[in-house]
Amino acid sequence: MLDFQPNDIGIKNGHIFSLPHEYKDAELIILPVPWEVTVSYNTGVAQGPEAILDASSQLDLFDPFLKDAHKYGVYLLQISEYWQQKNKQLRPKAAEYIRLLENGVQISDNKTMQNSLEEINTVCDELRAWVFEETDKIIRDGKMVALLGGDHSTPLGLIQALAQHHNDFGILHIDAHADLRDAYEGFTYSHASIMYNAIQIEQVKKLVQVGIRDISPEEFAITQDNSKLKTFFDWDLNDKKIEGIAWKNIVDEIIAELPENVYISFDIDGLQQMYCPNTGTPVAGGLSFDEAIYLVRKVVDSGKKIIGFDLNEVAPNPNDKEWNANVGARVLFKLCNQAIKSNL
């Protein structure tokens, strides 16, 4: 750090935000997971971690809400070539399986579909176990941990690892989708099932969802009937803002629902589409960048502790001059800084 100058041009040194930190001296470790096997609409999010890493060198490292932010160690682990290859192998099988489902083919009538589903569920469980093992080791090393996806199925292993180290915590879930589907399309670890799976974990005492605006009737019923859940639907948030209620007051309501320990799960499609036009499942509406980051900041200012986080569903587009990855990198920078601040 003695030779590092935050005012210099960002050097593509293979490190997130062009920081000089290594694993041993970093406070926060980020696990990248290049995975999108079960996505049900657009692809591309498996390239999110690499694209965000590349775009991150363009960021200035001043953060008005964390003094000398560049001095705190943040380190992105190497992107796994093994899981990249597994993703490339399985995604075509999943895409064909989904195509047949959408055309009314019954799984029970098609042996190939049955075999594909079994293989995909087996490997997705292996990925979950790998994420658990990797993040559990990071926690045991005394470091904060985050995950960079990939699709939104990827952080389940991290949430399970945190449950081994915390008796109780809540999840602040920023997203366009509720992700409360039970084994969506037959995939046990679907990107649309992450929160359904997460609330099965005993230590997860509360799930607070913000910005939800694309939801099935069954999922909506869960939000109304499950005492673990509090969902702030996008249509309700917009009504309040249109009627003159300040975002600060709305944020205070959201924070009041959270316990002391908070895990943040940030799907980039929780933002308005202009910030993430290439994301896997875009939905009209959503939070502005500033509204989302204000919410995260105020969670920390309230005295609550961020015990981990994930950022998912950032999909690069070669025609947009890095816009998706640029926004993703800036969200990641803010999440890192606020997580660090909450643990000082």
pLDDT tens, residue by residue, 22-75: 999 999 999 999 999 999 888 999 999 999 999 999 999 999 999 999 898 999
Q: How far apart are CA 36 and CA 256, in angstroms?
A: 34
Residue whose tokens read 């591309």 = 44
Predicted confidence band of residue 14 (pLDDT cuts 50, 70, 90): confident
Total domains in the chain come to 1
Tell whether 205 is covered by a domain.
yes
pLDDT higher than threshold 70 for residue 10: no
Tell whether 1 is covered by a domain.
no
- Assign 122 to helix, strand or coil: helix
Residue 142, domain CATH: 3.40.800.10
Instruction: Return the sign of the alpha-carbon dihedral for residues 55, 174, 297, 228.
Output: negative
**Which of 280, 324, 338, 309 is closest to 135 using CA atoms?**
309
Q: How far apart are CA 312 and CA 265, in angstroms?
A: 8
Residue 106, exposed/middle/buried by CB under 10 A (0-12, 13-18, 19+)? exposed
Q: Around Cβ 269, how many Cβ atoms within 10 Å?
A: 27
> What is the pLDDT, as a whole number, of residue 259?
98
Tell whether 9 is covered by a domain.
no
Tell whether 202 is covered by a domain.
yes
Tell whether 2 is covered by a domain.
no
- pLDDT (average), residues 281-308: 97
Tell whether 307 is covered by a domain.
yes
pTM of the model: 0.96
